[in-house]
Chains A and B, each alone.
Chain A
Amino acid sequence: MDLTFAPIEGKSRGFRRLMVVLGVLVAVMFASFMVMYLLGQQVWGTSNAIPWGQLITLDFFFVGVSAGAIVVSALCYVLRREEYKPIGRMAVLMGFLLFAGAMVTVLVDLGRIEKFWRVFAWGFMNNPTSMFAFNSIWYTGYLLLMAVYLWLAIENKTKWAMIIGTIDVLWALAVHSFTGAIVGLIGTREILSSPIKPFEFITAAVTSGTSLLIIAVYLTFKYTKRPLDNKIIISLGKILSYVIIILLVMIFFDKLTHIYFPAREGVLFLFTGPYWWLFWIFQIGMGIVFPLAVLFNPKTNKSVKWVLAACASVVIGVFGERAAIVIPGAAQVQQLYPGEIQGQWGMAGAFPITIWETLLTIGTLAFVALLFVLGLKYLEILPKGTEPKGEAVKHG
């Protein structure tokens, strides 16, 4: 397949409107960060009972979708499947920018942001036994690898792209597995602790990454008036359905392991506690049941619109799944002594949705979207289309 790639024109009214909206949201992100930096994290919903909130949820989500996008890019550059060539560069760009977004979220979540460099002072000022510090090597290497991978893809150096792409895919799997290990290795928290958590994380990453890529591909090609073979969407939807099955099996055995033995307070708290809806509605309903119903129904799984609906459901569901780990995982009262702990120490943590934390979360999403649109404008990411001058992109 001979394809010529080119930047989008980016001169239309729709493009300018999009840039203004994203620009305003990014300004809101900086403003809400400054509010937090000046007043402290008291303006967020976090507490000593739930020390991680929306930003860490978004961080886990970003790392996941990035890894998923890179895995999908392997269809084009590692497995050399020609039909995925039109979306190959976009998958790599998304992987790179989403991971950069993950780094931004984890950075702004720190109480003392100016000391972040300590985590990267390997073996000197950091603690290599910490999964945070251990991941600093993986994260740095991953960003560098993706930058090189993107450059090779844009320069059409297919042989080197295959080599670096293969390393990058393996690296992406490691990055996300070790990100899962950040929570999976916490033996004191019943909801978090699980040896299967790294694998559950990477499987959820592939589902959400594939879904977000499908949505981004559809919208980008549609609004830049580029021809897109619907078979790409349908075939990616098919791959997605199989990965969701694997994810379902992992979640089932993880929860079964935690509920089978009498020490089942953690999983019961997740199922029936104040955050039951995060698990049942988002993680199971939107992340598993609805997309499977769509993708295995012969009437809907060949419809682009239904596949897109399933993908949107998976993206929201996996975001909810991350929240179902971060928030109830810490909110559950630890069983310090036999019996019921009385008073405030026996109450599960509450996590209010606060304005500044939410604006920062939305702003960070807009920041990544802005970089993505700028990437489309200044890099040769998309195949040449039929877009008329001045009418190029209307919406991302």
Chain B
Amino acid sequence: MPRWGMVIDLDKCVGCQACSIACKEENNVPHGSPSEQKRKREIYWHRVISASEGEYPTSKDTLIPMPCMHCADAPCITVCPAKATYHRPDGIVVQDFRRCIGCRYCIVACPYGVRNFNFNDQVKQEYHRPETAPNRQTMGMWPFPQRTRGVVEKCIFCFHRIDQALREGKVVGKDVVPACVEECPTKARVFGDLDDPESEISHLLATRSSFRLREEFSTKPSVYYLHG
């Protein structure tokens, strides 16, 4: 059984947010209104944060793309009272909307702030696609055609793409990758099997210096960063 992970090269990331947009399109994550953004209610399955150190002219800014870290020891799974969030055998932390009771305990417990609560029904605007999915003929059943109000959402490493690829005998990491990896214009992201020594991701981790966010919490994230 593979153990899916992602490597993000901070040296290559230009902060264009193509990954965030690709994620929104792929998973029909709604674009929030300005007031929702201001109130921190817009739903982001993926975001890019910027951290600054030092004073001008010697300051250093680092852009950090942040999907869900898919931790091997995930606090969100520990605290979820309804088994709504759990590990798949391949290590992906998924969120089952039908099980979620909307208590938001996982949002409080997540060390990375990557979980979002769905505060309202999706507004029917131009971008709204209530039923359509990205080409079901090729991508298979799309798991998130509509929003569910009152539940928590998060990045799922586009597992629908992975499952479809495996059914079709394609190579995950080469032929098929999550939407954010596919759309990255600078090829800053690599997706693959962390347990496969021949995979590109394993090669990168073996040859480059890497780190994971907030390692002091021992959550063992599956998302690695290469130093910029």
Taking beta carbons and an 8 Å cutoff, which residues of A are in contact with B?
Answer: 39-42, 46-49, 51-52, 109-112, 115-116, 118-119, 125-127, 129-133, 136, 182-183, 186-189, 192, 329-330, 334-346, 349-350
Q: Which residues of A contact B52 (CB under 8 A)?
A: 339-340, 342
Q: Which residues of A contact B118 (CB under 8 A)?
A: 40, 111
Q: Which residues of A contact B109 (CB under 8 A)?
A: 186, 188
Q: How many pairs of residues, A versus B, come closer than 8 Å at their CB atoms? A: 165
> How many angstroms between the C-alpha atoms of A187 and B78 in the bound complex?
12
> Judging by beta carbons under 8 Å apart, are A131 and B107 in contact?
no
- Total number of B residues with any Cβ neighbor in A under 8 Å: 53
Name the residue among A49, A51, A334 with the largest chain B CB count within 10 angstroms: A51
Q: Which residues of A contact B213 (CB under 8 A)?
A: 336-337
> Judging by beta carbons under 8 Å apart, are B53 and A339 in contact?
yes
> Judging by beta carbons under 8 Å apart, are A40 and B119 in contact?
yes
Q: Which residues of B contact A339 (CB under 8 A)?
A: 51-54, 60, 62
Partner of B120, one of A39, A115, A329, A341: A39
Q: Which residues of B contact A350 (CB under 8 A)?
A: 39-40
Taking beta carbons and an 8 Å cutoff, which residues of B are in contact with A?
Answer: 37-41, 47, 49-54, 60-62, 64, 66, 75, 77-83, 99-105, 107-113, 115-121, 149-152, 213-214, 217
> Judging by beta carbons under 8 Å apart, are A127 and B80 in contact?
yes
CB-nearest residue of chain A to B213: A336
Q: Smallest distance from the beta carbon of B35 to chain A beta carbons, Å?
A: 10
> How many angstroms between the C-alpha atoms of A116 and B217 in the bound complex?
30
Question: Given that A41-B150, A42-B120 are known contacts, is A336 also in contact with B64, CB under 8 Å in the complex?
Answer: yes
> Judging by beta carbons under 8 Å apart, are A340 and B99 in contact?
no
> How many angstroms between the C-alpha atoms of A119 and B79 in the bound complex?
12
CB-nearest residue of chain B to A41: B119
> Judging by beta carbons under 8 Å apart, are B82 and A126 in contact?
yes
> Judging by beta carbons under 8 Å apart, are A47 and B39 in contact?
yes
> Judging by beta carbons under 8 Å apart, are B83 and A336 in contact?
no
> Judging by beta carbons under 8 Å apart, are A42 and B79 in contact?
no
Q: Smallest distance from the beta carbon of A60 to chain B beta carbons, Å?
A: 13
